Amino acid sequence: MSTLTERLRGWLGGMGQPASDALPVRLGMSRDTGMASSRAMGYDQALVWVTVALLAWGLVMVYSASVAMPDNPRFAKYTHTYFLYRHAMWLVIGFVAAVLAYQVPVVMWEKSARGLFIVSIILLVAVLIPHIGKVVYGARRWIALGPFSFQPSELAKFAVLLYAADYMVRKMEVKERFFRAVLPMGVAVALVGVLLLAEPDMGAFMVIAVIAMGILFLGGVNARMFFLIATILVVAFALIIASSEWRRERIFAYLDPWSEQNALAKGYQLTHSLIAIGRGEIFGVGLGGSVEKLHWLPEAHTDFLLAVIGEEFGLVGVVCVISLFFWLTRRLMHIGRQSIAMDRVFAGLVAQGVGVWMGFQAFINMGVNLGALPTKGLTLPLMSYGGSAILVNLVALAVVLRIDHENRLLMHGGRV
């Protein structure tokens, strides 16, 4: 009873104190003992294990979805484990990069935000130059680096996120004025958009636009200004779609994918994705038992990995994936709120920006696989095959882990 009373006094004692003394977040440590719990250690163990679970499940599913590809004459030069080995190799590279990124103090990321943004612009320009940019399926999105290929648009997502967070911190005092606060960043994002549309990669541009909008909103931009910018973006994307015949065809195919005209054309991927998920029913046909991955469903190991999960693990597997991403996004947003409560605005906006990024891209990919959204070339973060995406995603999560680590140090009287 006395212990309970002491705890209540400790909690109530924080009321009426300055925000720096009584934070609106849980510290993850018992105040009466002072002993660190698992959440009060040097890093967020739960976040690490959820990330590992997604990566490990993704590795298994990439192998399952690609194991039969060499039976197709188009991929006859590949072995059955080609994509498994490459995906595992990128996981190792991404892990090493994440460990290195975790060592970098958040203040250094803030100082290098503008420089990294400029580097990403240079790479987006370089990928459009013949003999530098690599063309795959008619799109020039990759830069060949020996046996590897790097996709600059993935780096651009991270660079725009850091730049937008740094920009909002620098312009905090003029965030009510459109031309001084928002227009310069809008021009920067528009420049990235033009370069991405030249590849073309509208999916990456959409993600980057949402990241920038999310940071504007979380940074406290005037509501009327925010909705004005959102309206402009919606109109811009509508015009981009209306001006492109093949993008219009994708929209029409989404509206009626089973028609004779669309089923074997623009609606082909969507219809076979729905067939795969339908075959899985509640519990799936079992790991490795997918039929749609046998040359029926294109890009089963990248954009449509969730459809293979749905076929092999059923509704239960799909719900598990959704739940893991929901928890991941929620945790990233919580770390961001914790940072902002401690007056670490840049760190908070970065963490929440990563949450917006992961959550939105996963939502779009899942919506496409389930037939709720038009087909768009976006992978499932942390799970789909794609070296550049895995590398940058792991670096971004490592930065958030560093933010959380510094929060814990500050809350326990340390220095960063």
- Whether the CB-CB separation of 301 and 292 falls below 8 Å is answered with no
Are 183 and 271 members of one domain? no
Are 276 and 415 members of one domain? yes
Residue 69 Ramachandran class (φ > 0 left, ψ -120 to 50 alpha, else beta): alpha
The last residue of one of the domains, among 219, 243, 267, is: 243
Residue 361 lies in a domain: yes
Can you read off the two tokens belonging to residue 364? Answer: 């779009």
Residue 329 lies in a domain: yes
Are 344 and 370 members of one domain? yes
Q: Which residue has the tokens 């929620």?
A: 330
In which domain, by residue range, is 133 found? 111-243
Are 228 and 265 members of one domain? no
Are 304 and 177 members of one domain? no
Are 265 and 369 members of one domain? yes
Residue 27 lies in a domain: no
Question: What residues contact residue 250 under an 8 Å CB cut-off, 6+ apart?
Answer: 266, 374, 375
How far is the C-alpha of 102 from the C-alpha of 389, rounded, in Å? 18
Residue 310 lies in a domain: yes
Question: Cα-flanking dihedrals φ and ψ of residue 371, to 5°?
Answer: 80, 15
One pLDDT digit (tens) per residue for the chain, 416 residues? 444 344 433 433 343 333 333 344 444 443 433 434 444 457 789 999 999 999 999 999 999 999 988 887 777 788 889 999 999 999 999 999 999 999 999 999 999 999 999 999 999 999 998 888 887 777 788 888 877 788 999 999 999 999 999 988 887 665 556 666 677 788 888 899 999 988 888 889 999 999 998 998 888 777 777 787 788 888 888 888 888 777 887 887 888 888 877 777 788 888 999 999 999 999 999 999 999 998 888 889 999 999 999 999 999 999 999 999 999 999 999 999 999 999 999 999 999 999 999 999 999 999 999 988 888 878 999 999 988 999 999 999 999 999 999 999 988 877 76
Are 166 and 81 members of one domain? no
Are 99 and 137 members of one domain? no
The last residue of one of the domains, among 179, 209, 243, is: 243
Are 236 and 313 members of one domain? no
Residues paired with residue 29 on neighbouring β-strands, in sequence order = 36
Give the helix/strand (H/E) hosting 135: strand 133-136
Residue 63 lies in a domain: yes
Supply the angle between the helices 152-170 and 202-218 in degrees, to the nearest 10: 20
Residue 249 lies in a domain: no
Structural domain tally of the chain?
A: 2
Residue 61 lies in a domain: yes
Residue 1 lies in a domain: no
Are 93 and 132 members of one domain? no
The last residue of one of the domains, among 215, 243, 271, is: 243
Are 300 and 407 members of one domain? yes
Are 278 and 364 members of one domain? yes
How far is the C-alpha of 21 from the C-alpha of 144, rounded, in Å? 52
State pTM to two decimals.
0.86
